[in-house]
Structures are given as structure tokens and as C-alpha cells.
Amino acid sequence: MVDAVSGIAGKVIVVTGAASGLGLADARLLTEQGAQVVMTDIDVERGQMLAEEIGAMFLAHDVSDEARWGQVMGEVEAKYGGLDGLVNNAGVAHIANIETTSLQVWRNTMAIHLDGTFFGCQAAIKLMKATGGGSIVNMSSTAALIGIPSYLAYSAAKGGIRSMTKAIAIHCRRETLNIRCNSVHPGSINTPMVHHALKELVDVDLGAMEDQEKARVSMGIGEPDDVAHMVAYLLSDVSKHVTGAEMVVDNGDTVV
Ligand SMILES: NC(=O)c1ccc[n+]([C@@H]2O[C@H](COP(=O)([O-])OP(=O)(O)OC[C@H]3O[C@@H](n4cnc5c(N)ncnc54)[C@H](O)[C@@H]3O)[C@@H](O)[C@H]2O)c1
């Protein structure tokens, strides 16, 4: 299943939330690099259309549904005989602080980010164990590192993903499963999620807001490919000595 020469070619990789933004960029890049990519999303129409365009497989998939994870992995195994990589990327971001976050928003955020990542890791490890190993990439955020007041539930969920990733990585190492697990922490990246957030947070047009952001961060707001290259690195054999790591892709935002 794995091309011994290239880091990515021939690998079977599932990317969740792949019908938009970062997941779509991952799916595109990985396919270009020769991986067999399975894109999953709740947005079936868009996902199917984009998968066809890219040359990937698409499966309708709500990551908060444990039973559906079993079916998705079953379909991947039936078609490809195993799994080399999983990107737990699907996500939502509700704007609400500690005083305004409803229980419904809290539960929805935890169901998609924390339950989804937990179900995904469990299902992937089961399949990867059977075929000799693999690499899991969990999409966290700089919100996990600094806590963003206007994204209370999101910050909590991303923090959970960060530490869950480390616990999984060490478990897999102790059990010599040959499965690596790392988290990726993007700063602001130019995707529909961020466009939506900026529009809700401030009553200015997006172009102006991006210019402000650009002025603050000298190299500009990040592009989805900036994150996709990190994801591809973590999925490839080149990163074989990297596990339990938190890879920050934020143009230094959390340093200054
Ligand atoms: N864009 C950023 O600046 C940024 C920064 C840090 C982290 N992230 C994280 O990156 C990931 C992707 O974000 P994005 O910016 O590309 O957002 P996006 O809104 O462009 O894409 C998210 C995708 O997830 C899908 N999705 C939502 N709920 C789902 C569910 N229950 N099951 C399956 N799919 C579901 C959506 O349909 C959509 O296609 C998220 O986990 C997000 O938290 C994004």
C-alpha cells in the first residue's frame, strides 16, 4: 500500500471535513502527491463535486456519529485493504464567550471536535494496527495554546484535542503499534470558517479586515496550503520520528 520511495504516494488517507477550507486543501495536496484520498463531510453535494474534480473518493460522514465511523472505515478497508493516514479536520466555530455560551453550543462543539476526534482515532487505530501502522493528524488550533475569549467552547475543545493527541501518541509508542499521532495548530487561515467569524465579530467588510490582519502579521493571513504542507509532512514517512508533537502554523502569532 505504501510507496517506499515517496513519503506520501500510495498511502490511503481519510480527511474529514474535506468539502471546504483546510480539509479541501489537504485532500488536493495529498492527491497531487499520489495518495489515495478519501474525503468525508456532512456537505454531501459539495464534497461529491470536489472529490470528483480532485480524483478522490467521497463518503457522507458526520464525525460526531460513532456508528458512521465504523461504516466509513469498513468502506475504506473494503476498497483499499487498509488505512495509512487519518486527518481529523472537521470542525465548527461558534462565537460566544464564557457568559454567552449556551449548553447547546457547548455540546455541539464538543460533539464535533472532541467526540469526532476520539471516534476517529479509535477507529483508525483499529484498522492501522491490522496493517502495520500509520499516522494520525488531529487539527487543533492556536486557540488550544492561548485560549480565545470569544471562542470559549472552541478553545476548550481544541485544548482537549491537543492533550488527547499526546496521550494517544504515547500509548501507541508504548504498545509499539507503529502509529504516530500529532496535532496541528493553525493561526488565522483564509477559509470560509474565518470569513464567517470575521463578519460576525466586526461590522466591517472582509477586505478591510484582512488588510488590518495583514498589517499586524507582516507576512499576511495564512493560506490553506500553508497548513496542508504541514499535514502532508506529518502523514509522510519523512516525519517517522515525530509523534505527540504540536505543530504550530501561525506565522509567529503566539510568539509575539
Ligand atoms: N481556518 C482557520 O483559521 C483555522 C485555524 C485553526 C484551526 N482550524 C481548524 O481547521 C479545521 C477546518 O477548518 P476550516 O477553516 O477549513 O473550516 P471550514 O468551515 O471551511 O470547513 C469545515 C468543514 O467541516 C465540515 N463539517 C462541519 N461539521 C461536520 C461534521 N459534524 N462532520 C463532518 N464534517 C463536518 C463542514 O461541512 C466543512 O466542510 C477545523 O477543525 C478548524 O477548527 C481552522
Per-residue confidence at 4, pLDDT binned at 50, 70, 90? very low
Residue 217 reports pLDDT greater than 80: no
Domain presence at residue 208: yes
Atom of ligand 1 nearest to the CA of 188: 3
Does one domain contain both 31 and 45?
yes
Q: Whose CA is nearest to atom 21 of ligand 1?
A: 20
Residues contacting ligand 1 via CB (< 6 Å): 16-17, 19-23, 41-43, 61-64, 89-93, 112, 139, 141, 186, 188-189, 191-194
* Average pLDDT estimate for 29-49: 98
Domain presence at residue 7: no
Residues facing 249 on adjacent strands: 186
* Average pLDDT estimate for 225-233: 98
For residue 59, the one-letter residue type is L
Beta strands in the chain (DSSP E): 12-16, 36-41, 57-60, 85-88, 134-139, 179-186, 246-249
Domain presence at residue 3: no
Tell me what pLDDT residue 213 has: 56
Does one domain contain both 215 and 113?
no
Does one domain contain both 106 and 208?
no
CA–centroid distance, residue 174 to ligand 1 (Å): 31
Tell me what pLDDT residue 10 has: 96
Does one domain contain both 63 and 174?
yes
Atom of ligand 1 nearest to the CA of 47: 39
Domain presence at residue 107: yes
Atom of ligand 1 nearest to the CA of 187: 5
CA–centroid distance, residue 113 to ligand 1 (Å): 10
Q: pLDDT tens for residues 100-127?
A: 999 999 999 999 999 999 999 999 999 9
Domain presence at residue 254: no
CA–centroid distance, residue 92 to ligand 1 (Å): 5
Residue 250 reports pLDDT greater than 70: yes
* Average pLDDT estimate for 134-139: 99
Per-residue confidence at 211, pLDDT binned at 50, 70, 90? low
Q: What percent of the chain has pLDDT over 90?
A: 86
Does one domain contain both 124 and 205?
no
Is residue 32 exposed (0-12), middle (13-18) or buried (19+ Cβ within 10 Å)? middle
Tell me what pLDDT residue 220 has: 66
Q: pLDDT tens for residues 160-204?
A: 999 999 999 999 999 999 999 999 999 999 999 988 887 776 654
Kindly report the number of other CB atoms within 10 A of residue 150's CB atom.
16
- Give backbone dihedrals phi and psi of 20, rounded to 5 degrees, phi first: -160, 165
Is residue 184 exposed (0-12), middle (13-18) or buried (19+ Cβ within 10 Å)? buried
Q: What percent of the chain has pLDDT over 70?
A: 90
Task: Specify the pTM.
Answer: 0.94
Residue 91 reports pLDDT greater than 80: yes
Does one domain contain both 151 and 25?
yes
Tell me what pLDDT residue 68 has: 98
Does one domain contain both 182 and 80?
yes
**CATH classification of the domain holding 69:** 3.40.50.720
Does one domain contain both 152 and 215?
no
The count of domains in the chain is 2
Domain presence at residue 253: no
With a CB cutoff of 8 Å and minimum separation 6, the contacts of 151 are 93, 94, 95, 96, 143
Per-residue confidence at 45, pLDDT binned at 50, 70, 90? very high
Domain that holds residue 135: 12-187+224-248
Mutate to test the pocket of ligand 1, among 14, 15, 20, 65 (most ligand atoms within 8 A of CB): 20
Does one domain contain both 120 and 207?
no
CA–centroid distance, residue 89 to ligand 1 (Å): 6
Tell me what pLDDT residue 103 has: 98
Contact 39, 47 (CB under 8 A): yes
Domain presence at residue 25: yes
Mutate to test the pocket of ligand 1, among 92, 118, 151 (most ligand atoms within 8 A of CB): 92
Residue 204 DSSP one-character state: S
Residue 2 reports pLDDT greater than 50: no
Per-residue confidence at 6, pLDDT binned at 50, 70, 90? low
Residue 230 cell numbers, joined = 504541514
154 is catalytic: yes
CA–centroid distance, residue 139 to ligand 1 (Å): 9
Does one domain contain both 87 and 208?
no
Domain presence at residue 161: yes
Residue of 80, 151, 154, 233 marked catalytic: 154
Contact 22, 16 (CB under 8 A): no
Query: Rounded to an integer, what is the distance from CA 238 to the centroid of its chain?
Result: 19
Q: What mean pLDDT is reported for the chain? A: 93
Contact 84, 1 (CB under 8 A): yes
Distance CA 28, CA 136 (A): 18
Does one domain contain both 28 and 85?
yes
Tell me what pLDDT residue 52 has: 98
Does one domain contain both 153 and 215?
no
Atom of ligand 1 nearest to the CA of 222: 3
